[in-house]
Amino acid sequence: MAVRLRKLSYALGAEVCDVNVAGPMGERQFGEIYQAFLAHGILLFRNQDVTREQHIEFSRRFGELDRHEALPRDRHPDYPELLMVTNDPKPDGSPSDTKYTGRQWHSDMSFTTAPSLGSLLKSYAVPEVGGDTLFANMTLAYDALSEGMKKLIAGLHGIHLSGTRKLANDNSGVVRAEEQKRINPPVAQPVVRVHPETGRKALYIGEKVKRFDGMTEEESQPLIDYLVRHATRPEFLYRHQWRKNDILAWDNRCVMHQALGDFDETQLRHMER
């Protein structure tokens, strides 16, 4: 039986209906799911009350899994393939290292020499309202640029830095920021990427890009700001409202995202990627 899909937005995304990711799944069925992944950029699987082992095994079908050596503070203590995204305090009562993870426009692991193909994020606890995630279709964003702008950025490389944006109410990240500089020195990535499977061009930009190779920050910032603002126009976006036991899979090669802090932070928001 063919996989049934429901579009999530005009720009990108589809829900895969009536599929249990932990259940039996032949190569033909997963092949249909993977083709939908390439076509839509984001896939949503609702009501996935699965174990961590099952989450990992389904994720492994998309490719080799990262063990998060680049983010040692953030990985699950027992499952290095899983990265924690939680505001649940540590056992000693100190704030979670991932309390503010993702609060800027970015593509996962862009600050490493092996950026991730995709991400599969599972929700365990979500606040009553808010805590949504925004996604941008970077292929549509690239296609909408003028020919002059495409020519201007064709040979540019952005310098990506790790770390989250400093927030007004966050005083916990100084040591972490210094650690990240040691583990993940700045890395250059092309501003325009060609998707290795679809052959389509996409912008590869975000708020982790601080300058262009060969240019100063002052020279680079106006163009970085323009490209991020352009890529996040409403017509290129999907806003995901999380429910418990959602699994959301997205293609980092052509999708950028941002976690929103629009929720009561006394309520638990716990996810694992």
Vertex 52 angle, CA 51 and 54, to 5°: 65
**pLDDT exceeds 70 at position 173:** no
Cβ contacts of 66 within 8 Å, gap of 6 or more: 81, 109, 114, 116
Question: Mean of the pLDDT values across residues 47-75?
Answer: 94
* Least confident window among 11-25, 134-148, 167-181, 215-229: 167-181
- In the chain, the N- to C-terminal Cα span, in Å, equals 29
**Lowest-pLDDT range, 39-43, 93-97, 180-184?**
180-184
Bridge-partner residues for 192, per DSSP?
203
Split at pLDDT 50, 70, 90, the class of 249 is very high
- Other Cβ atoms within 10 Å of 49 Cβ, number: 10
- pLDDT over 70 (residue 125): yes
Confidence at 165, pLDDT banded by 50, 70, 90: low
Distance of CA 247 to the CA centre of its chain: 13
Over 80: is that where the pLDDT of 181 sits?
no
Whether residue 209 is predicted with pLDDT greater than 60 in this model: the reply is yes
Q: Which residue has the tokens 């279709």?
A: 137
Does residue 146 carry a pLDDT above 90?
A: yes
pTM: 0.93
Amino acid symbol at 35: Q
Give the per-residue pLDDT at 133.
98
